[in-house]
Amino acid sequence: MNTFYRYITMISLVMLVSITGKDAFAGNKDRSGQAGASELLINPWARSTGWGNAGMSNIKGLEAIWSNVGGTAFTKKTELIFSHTTWLKGSDVSIFSFGLTQRVGESGALGLAVMSMNFGDIPITTTEYPDGGLGNYSPNLMNISLSYAKSFSNSIHAGFVMKIISESISDMSAQGVALDAGIQYVTGARENIHFGITLKNIGPTMQFSGDGLSLKAFIPGQENQFTLEQRQEAFELPTQLSIGAAYDFLFENDYRFTLAGNFTSNSFTKDQITLGGEFSLKDYLLLRAGYTYEDGIWDGIEDVNRTNISKGLSAGFSVQVPLNKESGSVFSVDYSYRDTDHFNGNHTIGARISF
């Protein structure tokens, strides 16, 4: 590899680790719930969630915009994905996602992804009307991601993402921005050894504002009604650092098995370790499974050490149909399942086309 590219890789890795500072490695359970915009930690795509995002170091194409943006540099020409997630089945929460990546120049790729969470209609209740009867409201959470990635050589692929965050109800809202950066390094005689590192959700604090923070009241001794505005505390974003590796076992007849794993350091929740595998049958059928471990995940749901409703297990598959062998265009249907307590899991299904 060119010495120049070696220097770029080393400097970038050092910058990614140093920027996170002490907080990114804290994994402090006592800070759980103190960050906002937690939807940034939800992966809305079916392929990568099928093995718990274990393949962060070798993911390619559009889904890498969430996992490790460096992987979007592998976009051949154009890729489109539509995805729907039934989040905590039985809770009436759903996630709709759409994304597009486009090759630009010889080694670059631009990306756009939109994720929207739908909570359905929730009854409005007050102290005077605890049983509702005042109508409904529906929270809106939306993230828009814009990315650019570039292949600096056959081994080094890096990029960044700018996220626009919007959270609102009818009378109150908050907006913010965050940045992600990621690098993938590929090596080995058959380019079957992968390393990756990504830093996510770096940005300024967010704060809610709007009429929902106002309260009309009478001051004793005064006949006129006054409007009082409650002060709202700003909240931080859930910074996250992931370091991963993967190895492709390549067999005859285009069969492949990939073993992958990564360590995720969370600033406001517990650190996690994920191990997963993906088996490919000539790229027509792909089967995958993974497990994500964190401290206390094997305890009962009512135990004080258990802070995650996920049980850690995930599984999924993809069925791919080549549309044009000469151009390499492919259509695929992807599905993933993530096991949870007290609900019937998270189910994600997506349709992908690349051409």
pLDDT digits (tens, 9 = 90+) for 87-129: 999 999 999 999 999 999 999 999 999 999 999 888 888 888 8
Q: How confident is the model at residue 231 (pLDDT cuts 50, 70, 90)?
A: confident
Separation CA 271–CA 195 (nearest Å): 19
pLDDT in the model for residue 127: 82
pLDDT in the model for residue 244: 95
How large is the average pLDDT for residues 267-296? 95
How large is the average pLDDT for residues 217-228? 76
pLDDT in the model for residue 325: 77
Task: Decide if pLDDT at 3 tops 80.
Answer: no
pLDDT in the model for residue 2: 52
What's the pLDDT tens digit per position in 268-277? Answer: 889 999 999 9
Considering only residues 1 and 76, tell me which one the structure prediction assigns the higher pLDDT. 76
What's the pLDDT tens digit per position in 8-17? Answer: 454 454 444 4
Task: Decide if pLDDT at 19 tops 60.
Answer: no
How large is the average pLDDT for residues 158-180? 94
Structure tokens at 177: 């921005």
How large is the average pLDDT for residues 44-63? 95
HEC string of the chain equals: CCHHHHHHHHHHHHHHHHHHHHHHCCCCHHHCCCECCHHHHCCCCHHHHCCCCHHHHCCCCCCHHHHCHHHHHHCCCEEEEEEEEEECCCCCEEEEEEEEEEEECCCEEEEEEEEEEECCCEECCCCCCCCCCCCEECCEEEEEEEEEEEECCCCEEEEEEEEEEEEEECCEEEEEEEEEEEEEEEECCCCCEEEEEEEEEECCCECCECHHHEEEEECCCCCCEEEEECCCCCEECCCEEEEEEEEEEECHHHEEEEEEEEEEEECCCCCEEEEEEEEEECCCEEEEEEEEECCCCCCCCCCCCCCCCEEEEEEEEEEEEEEECCCCEEEEEEEEEEEECCCCCEEEEEEEEEC
Q: How confident is the model at residue 74 (pLDDT cuts 50, 70, 90)?
A: very high
pTM: 0.87
Q: How confident is the model at residue 192 (pLDDT cuts 50, 70, 90)?
A: very high
pLDDT in the model for residue 137: 87
Averaged pLDDT score across all residues of the chain: 89
Residue with tokens 């604090």: 205
CATH of span 3-354: 2.40.160.60
